[in-house]
C-alpha cells in the first residue's frame, strides 16, 4: 500500500500572535525599547528569556552555518528539545522558513509553516516540535542560543504514513 499524498503547507508570515503557541518571535519592538548610552543607543529589551537550567543546564551561544534544503521540501522528521529552549537569530538579511508542530507526537496535520524575514529570529519553547533549520538562501549563518549540560535534550520523530510538504512558491515569487 502506498503512502498518501503529502499535506501541502503554505508558509504564513511570522507574527508573535501566530507563533505564540511555539515560543517567541525575536524582533525589534519599539514598545520594548528605550535609549541608553547618552541616548546614542536604542536597547530592545528582554525580547525572549532562555529556559535552559533544567538538570543544571546553562545557556550557550553558537553559530550554525546552514545550507539550503532542496524544495519542494518533504517533512520527513521533526525534533524537540525537552530540557531547554532554543533560539535562532539570522546573521544575514535573508528570509528563512520555520516548520513547527503541536501535540505529543507531530503529524502532517499538526504541522505549520512560517516565513521569517531576515530581521526576525525565533525562540522555541522547551519541548516544541520543529524541523531543523531551513534557509532559503544558498547558505546562511545563524546565532543560536540553546542549552548545554547533562541529560537527553534531543528527541527526533520520523514520520510514517502521510508527511507534509512545504510549498515555497508564494514565498520565492
The string of pLDDT tens digits covering residues 44-103 is 999 999 999 999 999 999 999 999 999 889 999 999 999 999 999 999 999 999 999 999
Q: How many structural domains is the chain composed of?
A: 1
Centroid of chain to Cα 29: 19
Query: What per-residue confidence (pLDDT) applies to 42?
Result: 97
Is residue 57 situated within a structural domain?
Answer: yes
Given a cut of 80, is residue 171 above it in pLDDT? no
Is residue 1 situated within a structural domain?
Answer: no
Alpha helices in the chain (DSSP H): 16-19, 169-172
> Domain residues for 44?
7-172
Instruction: For residue 173, name the pLDDT band (cuts at 50, 70, 90).
Output: very low
Q: pLDDT per residue over 122-153, tens digit each?
A: 999 999 999 999 999 999 999 999 999 999 99
Percent helix / strand / coil, the chain, rounded to 5: 10, 45, 45
Other beta carbons within 10 angstroms of residue 166's beta carbon come to 23
Amino acid at each position: 500500500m502506498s503512502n498518501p499524498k503529502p499535506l501541502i503547507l503554505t508558509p504564513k508570515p511570522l507574527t508573535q500572535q501566530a507563533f505564540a503557541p511555539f515560543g517567541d518571535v525575536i524582533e525589534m519592538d519599539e514598545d520594548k525599547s528605550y535609549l541608553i548610552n547618552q541616548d546614542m543607543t536604542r536597547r530592545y529589551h528582554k525580547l525572549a528569556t532562555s529556559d535552559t537550567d533544567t538538570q543544571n543546564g546553562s545557556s550557550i551561544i553558537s553559530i550554525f552555518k546552514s545550507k539550503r534544503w532542496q524544495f519542494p521540501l518533504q517533512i520527513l522528521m521533526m525534533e524537540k528539545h525537552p530540557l531547554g529552549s532554543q533560539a535562532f537569530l539570522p546573521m544575514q538579511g535573508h528570509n528563512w522558513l520555520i516548520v513547527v508542530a503541536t501535540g505529543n507526537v507531530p503529524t502532517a496535520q499538526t504541522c505549520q509553516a512560517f516565513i521569517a524575514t531576515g530581521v526576525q529570529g525565533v525562540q522555541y519553547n522547551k519541548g516544541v516540535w520543529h524541523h531543523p533549520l531551513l534557509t532559503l538562501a544558498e547558505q546562511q549563518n545563524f546565532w543560536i542560543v540553546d542549552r548545554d549540560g547533562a541529560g537527553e535534550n534531543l528527541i527526533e520523530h520520523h514520520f510514517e504514513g502521510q508527511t507534509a510538504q512545504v510549498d515555497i512558491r508564494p514565498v520565492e515569487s
